[in-house]
A and B are shown apart, each in its own frame.
Chain A
Amino acid sequence: MSAGQEMTQETTVASSGGLKPRHKRFLWIIFGLVFIAAIVALILNAFGSNITYFYSPTDVTQDKVPHGRAFRIGGMVEGGSLVRDADGLTVHFKVTDTAQVVPVVYTGILPDLFAENKGVVAQGKLDEHGVFQATQVLAKHDENYVAPEVAAAMSAAQKEHVMETLKQ
């Protein structure tokens, strides 16, 4: 902001011939607005197509998730669900928030901290069979640490579970 002011002052002082100072300032303002508009357009456009939303397995089973667009799911890797294909690189596992379970397929090398009964976040799309096709699997850096998204998903699912048992 102050740079703009400084700039206008200076150019006003500096203008010797040609445009009147008032017109020159006006030009600067126009230029500044165009610049800001371009930046805002750039950011909005980049935001619009590159933000990834996070959902819990419960959200997935309740069909609250976008179709044909990548998103993230998080939860625990269900114990005993990890199966590896013969190619050695394709893995199937199930992500759970204790209430619901979503099957996930991923081809590639899993991160070091990936393990059954540990927290995981996966990014990808849901296919027509309800299987989450992951393009990226993230497991955070500490063995004792649970990603905040995962923790939130789990506690939300547990709360819902308690509510339902109370209703019954």
Chain B
Amino acid sequence: MIPEIGQFALILATLLMIVQGTLPLVGASKGISAWMALSRRTAQGAFFFMALAMGCLIYSFIVNDFSVLNVATNSNTKLPLAYRIAASWGSHEGSIMIWVFMLGLWSCAVSIFSKHLPEEMVARVLGVMGLVGTGLLLFLLLTSNPFDRIFPVPIEGRDLNPLLQDPGMVLHPPMLYMGYVGFSVAFAFAVAALLGGRLDATWARWSRPWTTLAWCFLTLGILIGSWWAYYELGWGGWWFWDPVENASLMPWLVGTALMHSLAVTEKRGTFKVWTVLLAICTFSLSLLGTFIVRSGVLTSVHAFATDPRRGMFILALLALVIGGSLVLFAFRAPRVGASGKFKLVSRESALLANNLLLTVACGTVLLGTLYPLFLDALKLGKISVGPPYFEAVFVPLMVPTIFLMGVGAVARWKEATLPDLWTRLRWALVVTVIVSVAIPFILGRTAPTSVALLALGFGMALWVATSAVVGFLDRIKHVGGSFSEKLARQPRSFWGMFVAHLGIAVFIVGVTVVKGFEAERDVKMTPGDTVSVGGYSFRFVGIEDHPGPNYQASRGTFELSKDDKVMRNLYPEKRKYFSFGMPMTEAAIDSGVFGDRYVSLGEPLNDGKQSWSVRVYHKPFVTWIWGGCILMTLGGLLALSDRRYRVNARREAGAVSWTSVKLEKA
């Protein structure tokens, strides 16, 4: 019964989305205000029914309704409740379901927080989101129905993939999808601007907070995914340049460019056309990401089932969204183009150059990700493009980006002069160069390549940090009052930028130190053996059976010590899930601000002495990588809380209601 209600709600949501995606758009172009007014109601209605459908799906998982195929293949009576809930978005069907649910959520949010927008704009934005939603809902209903029943009803479900039975995986998909789908708002705003021909600073101010919020979610989503890969896959890596990771990195890169480009459009009225193009690209890449991960073109943990129909459907949808919006762009962009002026040396130039670099970086990732697929599709052979390719192109592109990031944060708008920039940045530059060259030697490195790489890494981090501080001091110099008053007078958006840029610095430090100083050992260990890595000793105490709710584990005990002082015990596990034949590694990590001690079990060696192959790591500063991402997210949230959005919103709300009163009278 409940699944049928869910199914029915999904159909109703689709019908409402179709209305949302058509009538308001027509109304906006013909000036029929009754049709435009439909957009808010339909968006809220569609969201209501999608929430109902989502609720029904989660309910089916909670009560173990194995008559639903999706539940039977992805859940199990022994699965703990939290994972049964997470399993609702663990499968292909469920993940598309949560995708459209989130689209409903975002468009409902737009309908609520858009009181200050002109009716026509709201109608167009929600209309575009309605069209996208219609496409995905049809995809869901026609090719991947999450409520499909099976008969005979199995007594027990197959279980959720053990790799996904993890707190990180409960959070990762919703966060990531909130980010992906959130960019649909920026996209809808861009298309609405193209349709309406209105593309100015106000437009940028409207779409900015939505873009920033989506970017925050995406950052957090990627962070959780990376963290999960780090501790769950048992390999101790935090980024593999795997296609599914690249799929989330690409919208992030272009989304970052978009966020900055929007800032320029709002503040200076320039870059309009470029901003619109970036908004289109960001969302297109989000869709592409969904396609890459979910269509089965790549086969990995994310895509078990390969169904060509689904692939074709998403491909068609992609072609429609990307092709359609680019055609619109080609026809309309020249009309909305007129831009402000700026000189070669200015903040605008630095931001534009960085925009280009980020876009090119995204392009190289795209190439490395899709090239093997193209070759394969054309039957030209099977290849794989590994991490070395990505590192070889990504790092050289990021070096100038980071350099310009420091310059851009300090340079004046419109026109800056090189001597002035030099005067303000010279201390930052001197500190950066001296400290970054000194650090590798202080840390005892002498090999030229190692010194160069470390100096480069530290140099980039220091440059970002010192130039951010210079920009900060510049700002408070011109404000009166005591130091604390000066601080208090800075707008939140500035704090946001400051914190996010520091986040980049922290992230770079993390990457540099991990790359430069991580130590790894694969060893055979018999109880009583000790192995030392990075100054820490791991003593293998023993191994015992340890039952879990839906698995049986062999749990090892390792005593971690430094300088003969015992710190703590670590308990890595090798789990055998009842429903899956294969074992799963559960690493044990002693995590700290200055590094992680990591141990994971390989395999039993069956020599009668309880020997195991064991992998131990010392990962210095690895937590800084995630700390940096958290700072970036915080920065985004700080910028979002800037009062100017609220103040302007109120002011504009007044203006708009006044015009609407006039219209009604007329």
Contact = CB atoms under 8 A, between A and B. Distances in A.
Contact of A89 (B376, B393, B523, B580): B523
A52 B613 contact: no
B81 interface: no
A14 B341 contact: yes
B613 A51 contact: no
Contacts of B371: 47
B530 to A, nearest CB: 16
Interface in A78-111: 84, 87-89, 107-110
Nearest to A113: B582
Contacts of A108: 522
B389 A46 contact: yes
Interface string A37-52: 0010011011101111
A89 B343 CA distance: 62
Interface residues of B, number: 57
Nearest to A88: B524
B384 A112 contact: no
Contact of B352 (A7, A13, A84): A7
Contacts of B274: 2-3, 6
Contact of B524 (A42, A52, A87): A87
B392 A141 contact: no
Contacts of A25: none
Contact of A88 (B273, B277, B396, B613): B613
A46 B271 CA distance: 32
A43 B522 contact: no
B389 A89 contact: no
A140 B300 contact: yes
B342 to A, nearest CB: 6
A52 B384 contact: yes
Contacts of B277: 2-3
A142 interface: yes
A49 B386 CA distance: 10
Contact of A54 (B381, B580, B585): B381
Interface in B146-198: 161, 163
Given A2-B274, A42-B392, A89-B522, A50 B386 contact: yes
B539 to A, nearest CB: 18
A10 B273 CA distance: 12
Interface string B570-591: 0000000000111111000000
B106 to A, nearest CB: 27
A3 B356 contact: yes
B270 A10 contact: yes
B389 A50 contact: yes
A8 to B, nearest CB: 11
B639 to A, nearest CB: 24
Given A39-B360, A50-B392, A53-B381, A143 B582 contact: yes
B392 A46 contact: yes
A148 interface: yes
A147 B299 CA distance: 7
Interface SS of B by simple majority? mixed
Given A2-B277, A88-B524, A50 B301 contact: no
Interface in B511-531: 522-524
A134 to B, nearest CB: 14
B404 to A, nearest CB: 13
A47 B274 CA distance: 29
B337 interface: yes
A60 B258 CA distance: 48
A11 interface: yes
B273 A2 contact: yes
A63 B333 CA distance: 56
Contacts of A54: 381-384
A45 B389 CA distance: 9
A54 B396 CA distance: 28
Given A43-B364, A147-B299, A10 B383 contact: no
Contacts of A72: 384
Contacts of B299: 140, 145, 147-148
Contacts of B343: 14
B152 to A, nearest CB: 21
Contact of A50 (B385, B523, B524, B611): B385
Nearest to B602: A109
Contact of A115 (B352, B582, B613): B582
Contacts of B567: none
Interface string A98-135: 00000000011110110100000000000000000000
Interface string B346-372: 000000100110001000100100010
Contacts of A148: 299, 376
A107 B386 CA distance: 20
A142 B356 CA distance: 39
B430 interface: no
Interface string B332-347: 0100010111111000
A88 B602 CA distance: 10
A6 B523 CA distance: 59
Interface string B317-342: 00000000000000001000101111
A38 B337 CA distance: 29
A46 B581 contact: no
A13 B414 CA distance: 13
Nearest to A38: B396
A41 B51 CA distance: 50
B453 interface: no
A50 B329 CA distance: 37
A45 B396 CA distance: 12
A5 B381 CA distance: 38
Given A52-B383, A112-B582, A112-B583, A142 B161 contact: yes
25 contacts: A2-B273, A2-B274, A2-B277, A3-B274, A3-B355, A10-B341, A14-B342, A39-B360, A42-B396, A42-B397, A43-B364, A50-B386, A52-B383, A52-B385, A54-B382, A84-B605, A88-B613, A109-B613, A112-B584, A112-B585, A140-B300, A141-B161, A143-B580, A149-B382, A152-B382
In the A-B complex, the 7 residue pairs with the closest CB atoms? A88-B524, A109-B602, A54-B382, A46-B392, A50-B389, A141-B301, A50-B388
